[in-house]
Each structure stands twice: as C-alpha cells, then as structure tokens.
C-alpha cells in the first residue's frame, strides 16, 4: 500500500514537471495533435498505397500540410498586416470617419429620437464624433501593436512552427501506437476508454471542420462581397467575419450588419443593400448548409455549451482556446455521461 502511494506521488510529480517543461510549446503541441488527427485519413490512404513505409507516408502528408495550410496562412497574415496598416492610416487621416457618419445619421433622426439620445448622454455631437474617431483609431493601433509584437518574435514563431511540424510527423507515423499506450494507461474499463477517446477525436474534428472551415468559408464570402462593392479593407473585414463566426449566437452578423448600417448612413445605398441581402441570404446560411455536411448533427454540442466553452477558452488561452475550450467541455460531458450510465442500473425502477 505504501509502495503504491509512493508510486502515485512519483507519477504526479513527474507529470507536473513534464507539463511545466513543455508549457512554452503547448500551442505547438496542441496544433500538432490537431493536424495529425485531421490529416490521418490522408496519411492512411497514402499508407495503403505505400505499405510498410510509414515514414514516407507521414513525410508526404506533412508536405501536404505545409503546402495547403502553413504557406497560405503565412501569406494571409502578411497581406492582413499590410491591409490593417492601410485601413488604420485611412482612419487617422479622416478618410474613414465613423464619427461623422454617426453625427449625420443622428441629424436625420426625428426630434424625439434626438432628445432620447441627449438624455442618455449622446447629444454632444462634436465631442461624440471626436471620441468615436479616437476610439476607432486606438482600436486599430492596438491591433497593429499586437500584430507587430508577433512579428518581432519571429524566431520564437518559427521555432514553435518547427516543433509543431516535427511533432506532427511522428504523430502521423507512430500515432496509433502512442494512442493505444495512452488509452491503456487510463484507469477505466475498455468501453469507457473507447467512449472518451472517440469523444475527444470527434470533438477535435467537429471543432476544426465545423468551426474553422466554416469560418474560412464565411470570411471568404464576406470578404469577396465587400471587395465587390468597393469597401476598403475587404480582407481585414472578411477575416473579422471569420473570427466572429467562431462564437455561436454572435456570428458574422456583428460585422456585416454594422457595415450595412455604416454604408446606408453614409449614402452608399446600393452597396448597403447588396451587403444586407448577401449577408442575410448567403453569409449567414453557410453554417446551416455546410456544418451538417462536414460534421453531422450527432457530433454537435448544445450551442450554449459551445458559446460558454469557446468564450472561456479564448479568455484563458487566447486563440488556442477556440479548440481547447470545446474539447474540455466535450470531455466533461462524456465523463458525466459515463458516470450517469454507470449509476443508472443501481437506481430502483420508477413505480
């Protein structure tokens, strides 16, 4: 009994020490696991074509990941930085003046509406315009500061990227054996372990395929529409739509609805009308049409759970929280489902 207690203490201590050791590369490890899970079907297909050559199949899959995911993501980040800088300069120079549009819109309102705005402290036109313009400029300045800080850590970024790709290769090559060892170490029955592992893999795929891919589709569609109607910074606003689409109950509407109001208020009637129609009938419909095809309804968690888990994960872990939050929520639900299934037979039947 004492020996078992000492062993448990050693296991806990070694585990905590190892977690502390690899914590600086937690993001790289997370995305390596995600990449390995998502591209495992491709790796398996290549392995069937190249039997007994796991290393070659894993290297070919890794090359596909670099060409399809890594290179386009880096090009997008570079273009996004340039466009964010351009939009920021337009805001600073006054070419894009949200404060002026708000003031002009308020001037067109009926008297009772202007009186109501004055009662809630929005009656000082000059001061309000100045505060709005300064607030938007400060927001873009903060965004650029964050992007530039990432750029200044170029060595750290490429080091993490190298770790991620290196680990992805070994997970693709030896992933099944590693997963089997981890599964055997979980102190649960065979069926319970299978439920947990299946839930983990399903949620990873559902989160990526059902959220990030849909975010890319919605952001791309929104960006194309904005570019077609001549809105400056279409790439920036398209990326913003993609980001907000990750949050259930918020979605892309936060961008295209406000942009529609801005266009209509600034006199761009046909542009605002086109954006509203495309946003309502096309951009917002992508999720309802594509998600069941990519994920299937059985893999979905309730929207309120996804929202809380995503917001909590984002608050605690930044961008990585978009994945970790829903995964933790799914494991939580799976564990309690196992507890419920285990306790159910012992409960007396209802009379």
Q: Which two tokens stand for residue 227?
A: 């570019």
Q: pTM of the full predicted structure? A: 0.68
Highest mean predicted confidence (pLDDT) among 54-68, 191-205, 257-271, 315-329: 54-68
Angle 234-244/253-265 helices, nearest 10 degrees?
140
Highest mean predicted confidence (pLDDT) among 6-10, 127-131, 136-140: 6-10
Task: Please give the Cα distance from 93 to 19 (Å, whole number).
Answer: 49
Q: pLDDT, tens digit, for every residue of 161-206?
A: 899 999 999 999 988 888 777 777 777 777 777 777 777 777 767 7
pLDDT score recorded for residue 166 = 93
Backbone angles phi, psi at 170, to 5 degrees: -70, -30
Which contacts of 4-9 are long-range, i.e. CB under 8 A and separated by 24 or more positions? none
pLDDT score recorded for residue 106 = 60
Grade residue 322 by pLDDT with cuts at 50, 70 and 90: confident
The answer to whether the CB of 200 falls within 8 A of the CB of 289 is no
Percent residues over pLDDT 90 in the chain: 11
Task: Please give the Cα distance from 334 to 158 (Å, whole number).
Answer: 36
Residue 120 reports pLDDT greater than 50: yes
Q: What's the whole-number average pLDDT of the chain? A: 76
**How many residues are listed for the chain in this entry?**
351
Q: pLDDT, tens digit, for every residue of 271-283?
A: 889 999 998 888 8
Residue 254 reports pLDDT greater than 60: yes
Every domain of the chain and the residues it spans: 24-151+159-178, 188-340
**Range list of H helices, 108-189:** 111-119, 125-152, 154-185
Query: How much is the average pLDDT of 63-82?
Result: 86
Grade residue 297 by pLDDT with cuts at 50, 70 and 90: low
pLDDT score recorded for residue 94 = 62
pLDDT score recorded for residue 62 = 94
Residue 266 reports pLDDT greater than 70: yes
End-to-end CA distance of the chain: 44
The answer to whether the CB of 56 falls within 8 A of the CB of 50 is yes
């Amino acid at each position: 009994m004492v020996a078992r207690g000492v062993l448990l203490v050693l296991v806990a201590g070694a585990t905590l020490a190892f977690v502390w050791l690899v914590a600086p590369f937690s993001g790289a490890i997370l995305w390596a696991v995600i990449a390995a899970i998502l591209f495992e079907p491709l790796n398996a297909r290549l392995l069937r074509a190249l039997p007994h050559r796991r290393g070659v199949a894993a290297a070919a899959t890794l090359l596909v990941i670099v060409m399809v995911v890594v290179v386009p993501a880096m090009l997008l980040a570079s273009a996004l930085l340039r466009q964010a800088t351009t939009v920021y300069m337009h805001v600073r120079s006054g070419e894009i003046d949200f404060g002026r549009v708000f003031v002009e819109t308020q001037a067109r309102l009926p008297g009772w509406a202007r009186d109501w705005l004055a009662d809630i402290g929005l009656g000082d036109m000059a001061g309000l315009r100045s505060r709005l313009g300064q607030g938007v400029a400060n927001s873009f300045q903060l965004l650029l500061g964050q992007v530039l800080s990432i750029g200044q850590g170029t060595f750290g970024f490429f080091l993490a990227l190298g770790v991620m790709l290196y680990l992805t290769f070994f997970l693709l090559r030896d992933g099944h054996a590693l997963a089997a060892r981890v599964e055997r170490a979980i102190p649960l029955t065979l069926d319970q372990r299978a439920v947990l592992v299946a839930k983990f893999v399903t949620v990873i795929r559902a989160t990526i395929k059902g959220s990030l891919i849909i975010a890319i589709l919605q952001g791309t569609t929104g960006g194309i529409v904005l570019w077609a109607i001549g809105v400056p910074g279409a790439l920036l606003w398209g990326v913003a739509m993609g980001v907000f689409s990750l949050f259930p109950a918020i979605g892309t509407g936060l961008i295209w609805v406000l942009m529609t109001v801005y266009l209509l208020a600034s006199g761009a009637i046909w542009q605002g009308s086109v954006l509203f129609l495309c946003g309502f009938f096309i951009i917002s419909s992508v999720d309802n049409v594509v998600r069941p095809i990519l994920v299937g309804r059985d893999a979905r968690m309730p929207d309120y759970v996804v929202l809380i888990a995503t917001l909590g994960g984002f608050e605690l872990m930044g961008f990585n929280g978009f994945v970790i939050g829903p995964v933790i929520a799914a494991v939580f639900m799976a564990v309690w489902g196992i507890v419920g299934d285990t306790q159910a037979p012992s409960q007396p039947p209802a009379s």
